[in-house]
A and B are shown apart, each in its own frame.
Chain A
């Protein structure tokens, strides 16, 4: 309530977070968690077969993982904090109050993870293969541990389970979706790392003689990890409670992309089948295929982004299920604010309001407070593009009264009747302004 308002132009607040988040998750899952697994296993093979060339190649690939995780990976991690807190201070503030200890513990593990990768990579020559390999094993454990902790927090936002009643840390952390989500993430990390590994290995043309070793290893790993990933991703989706899972199909489509609903059912199955075919080709042919060096990486980043998008979407209209709405208003305060109005809490919206007419200005400020977390003006999810719904002040107002049922993923309108009217008028004004008409064209067939 009364938090500063941030409006990312054109791409919108959600897309800003999504871009930073997807980059971070791809790198942290693929290059840190899964990457450590990929590298350490190959490292092990190079020691067992006493293959110095392979050992050098592993070091080169690790070098790229090291550079990317400690720059873009680390900074986008911080970036999630900075961007989410800017977009929705109330949400991040609340989450921090609830999950501080999980994050604090994660931080300690994270510090050790960073120190371990520095010892592992920067000390590769100094510590030799034996000790170096042991450092690598501890590094794998540490990076998985960070994921184990962060998954508890992400899952609790989605399915808080007992937390709503007990407000206790552990009941939020070990929520109903915890185990399936953690296992899904573990295996998507493994698949991502193989995909990235294939790509980066192929960039090291000096080590062409060692490529078949890598293809063989990657092929085997793909064949083992892909079906396990499918198993866990399906159990994860099954574990989502009914009221949330009915929205998953909406998440994958939104109304415009209705046909996606069919695709969503076979989306993960196709990805997994493809990855298994790739695995089989790599394992049996052990040959260099340009396509196989980048298509898996592309596919897995896409699958990863999709999984995160679905997770973010099915949380709607909440950021903390049944407690805090996406626009950082609290569910339990809604009746009070419906009676007294939100006008007393628009100080920050006032800063950037432009309208001069008092009623329109009120509507504008309410738009900033309640709608702008998800809607831009004319960019992604732009409000002025919703001409089918926002046709005139009366229809707008009617929509604001009833959309809870037609658009269950949107937080309800909160405020008095007069405030709703002001918002309806403001929406009418900006829709008409943006569409360059004094009267928005009702669809054909209107009499």
Chain B
């Protein structure tokens, strides 16, 4: 806890409630598109690769590929807002955690860029006969593998941020992922991605169906596939949610967490019920309604995560505030009695030591020639030496040209007088 940084002495640029609201809301939008991106990539790669016998699957793969092109870009660009918000709401904690896992944290940049390029190669070589199937699948699978890995980096960081008492003992990503809550959350997230991609597929192909009645067979089948993914993954989420909840550290837990979970389960139950009516009871509930229901669940989950963050950081924040107050008080007390100590007396010696000695010594070569050389050369011509220092020229080919020193005319005179009056032996 003693390494929690002191807060910055600057006011927040916006009210805290606004920043927290922005964090929860925009993160929710971001993570929805991330889920669509991961699930969509799975479909576009593996449906085509593994189910070649039925043309439905390769068509489905192609159509989902088009959605991934859009969804992945929206996911990234929306992600900036929550990144800014979390950096302001939890500045010290967020940056500290990122720092501990730095190499992996920074690898997100090139990993995701590589995944996106791979996806483009996969997409734009689709119909080309120049490349083998193996070549094409390689890029698809690579993109998917990266998409599976990157969430783990984010999760280990966000988890580490909440538990400053562990910072002392954790020296990197590979240690951070073994904290109790990380892997269960990861599984919970992956399964949520499956469910959300299901909901997305349902809504998306429902829209397409409206515009393309001639293709009803394909779009109906695609839409039902989405509904099934949505329904079964949502059901499975009971298991992963349970795992996630039981591994949640005590400091992060509170009755509110449990209440929100219960509400989320009930609302998710409604979504599952509506899906089952459509799939198995021949009803026709509009997919937008079902999507709205699951959006409520996602919002509850987002709020729940916020409650968890606030719970876990309650004590660390107090410690940070205490440290900050103490430091500020000491600083303020000091500043009351402190006044900058006026003009420092400048002497030729001090100028020489402060400026010239960066490159010159009296009797040996450093970056520039020994001063002995200059003293001998200028001992009878003070003005020439002053003029040289004022506007240096290249004289000796063995040395780089001297930069004009950042000192005043007066200081140049002082230092020249100091040097020319030095009692040193001559080389001659």
B116 and A446: CB pair below 8 A? no
Contacting B at CB under 8 A, from A1-18, are 1-6
Q: How many residues of A are counted as interface, with CB atoms below 8 angstroms from the partner's CB atoms?
A: 78
With contact pairs A74-B76, A78-B80, A118-B70 given, residues A446 and B99 touching in the complex (Cβ less than 8 Å): no
**Do residues A97 and B334 form an inter-chain contact, with CB atoms below 8 A?**
no
A98 contacts B13, C-beta separation under 8 Å = yes
Q: Which residue of the partner chain A has the closest CB to B367?
A: A388
Residues of the B chain whose Cβ atoms lie less than 8 Å from the Cβ of A249 = 403
In whole angstroms, how far apart are the Cα atoms of A83 and B83 in the complex?
Answer: 13
Segment at the A interface, from B2-10, B42-50, B220-228, B270-278: B2-10
User: Can you report 18 residue pairs joining A to B where beta carbons are below 8 Å apart?
Assistant: A2-B3, A2-B6, A6-B99, A74-B73, A75-B110, A85-B98, A89-B96, A97-B88, A98-B10, A100-B13, A101-B13, A101-B14, A118-B69, A255-B403, A259-B400, A333-B331, A335-B334, A447-B364
Give complex CA distance A287, B419 in Å.
Answer: 65
Whether B340 and A335, one on each chain, are in contact in the complex, defined by CB atoms closer than 8 angstroms, is yes
Question: Does B109 belong to the interface (CB within 8 Å)?
Answer: yes
Closest chain A CB from B353 CB (angstroms): 5
Contact A100 B364 (CB under 8 A): no
Q: Which of the candidate stretches A224-232, A295-303, A414-422, A437-445 sits at the interface with the other chain? A: A437-445
Of A41-49, A198-206, A366-374, A398-406, the one with at least 4 CB within 8 A of chain B: A398-406
Chain B residues, CB < 8 A from A83: 106, 109
Q: Are B70 and A122 in contact (CB under 8 A)?
A: yes
Scan residues 70-97 of chain A and give those whose CB is less than 8 A from a CB of chain B: 70-72, 74-76, 78-79, 81-83, 85-86, 89-90, 92-94, 96-97
Say yes or no: B331 contacts A67, CB within 8 Å. no
Which of B88, B105, B106, B354 makes the CB contact (< 8 A) with A402?
B354
Q: Is the CB of A82 within 8 A of B109?
A: yes
How far, in whole Å, are A444 and B327 apart by their CA atoms in the complex? 49
Whether A408 is near chain B, meaning CB under 8 Å from some CB there, is yes
Quick check: A107 and B14 within 8 Å, CB to CB?
no
- Whether A336 pairs with B10 at a CB distance below 8 angstroms is no
Chain B positions within 8 Å of A407 at CB level:
358
Is the pair A402, B353 in contact by a Cβ cutoff of 8 Å?
Answer: yes
CA distance A1 to B11 in the complex (A): 17
Q: Which of A20, A75, A94, A259 has the most CB of B within 10 A?
A: A75
- A interface residue numbers (CB < 8 A to B): 1-6, 20, 67, 70-72, 74-76, 78-79, 81-83, 85-86, 89-90, 92-94, 96-101, 103-104, 107, 110-111, 114-115, 118, 122, 169, 246, 249-250, 255-256, 258-259, 261, 330, 333, 335-336, 339-340, 345, 347-348, 350-351, 388-389, 398-399, 402-408, 442-447
**Chain A residues near B105 (CB-CB < 8 A):** 82, 86
Chain A proximity mask over B307-347: 1 for CB below 8 Å, otherwise 0 = 00000000000000000000100110011001010000000
Contact, CB under 8 Å: A1 / B5? yes
Q: Is B80 in contact with A336, judged by CB distance below 8 angstroms?
A: no
CB <8 Å contact, A76 and B84: no
Is A255 within 8 A of B359, CB to CB? yes
B81 touches A107 (CB 8 A): yes
B102 contacts the other chain (Cβ, under 8 Å)?
yes
**Inside 8 A of A75's CB, which chain B residues have their CB?**
76, 109-110, 112-113, 116
In the complex, the answer to whether A403 meets B358 with C-beta atoms within 8 Å is: yes
B239 lies within 8 A of chain A by Cβ = no
Whether B8 lies near A93 (C-beta < 8 A) is yes
In the bound complex, do residue A258 and residue B403 qualify as a contact, i.e. CB atoms below 8 Å apart?
yes
A92 touches B87 (CB 8 A): yes
Contact call A256/B357, Cβ cutoff below 8 A:
no
Contact between chains at B91 and A443 (CB < 8 Å): no
B117-143 near A? 1/0 per residue, CB < 8 Å: 100100000000000000000000000
Taken residue by residue from 351 to 369, chain B's Cβ proximity to chain A (1 for < 8 Å, 0 otherwise) reads as 1011111110001111100
Q: B406 contacts the other chain (Cβ, under 8 Å)? A: yes
B401 CB within 8 Å of chain A: yes
Q: CA separation between A246 and B407, bound complex, in Å?
A: 12
**Are B102 and A444 interface neighbours, CB within 8 A?**
no
Residues of B within 8 A of A93 (CB): 8, 87, 91-92, 95
B395 at the interface (CB under 8 A from A): no
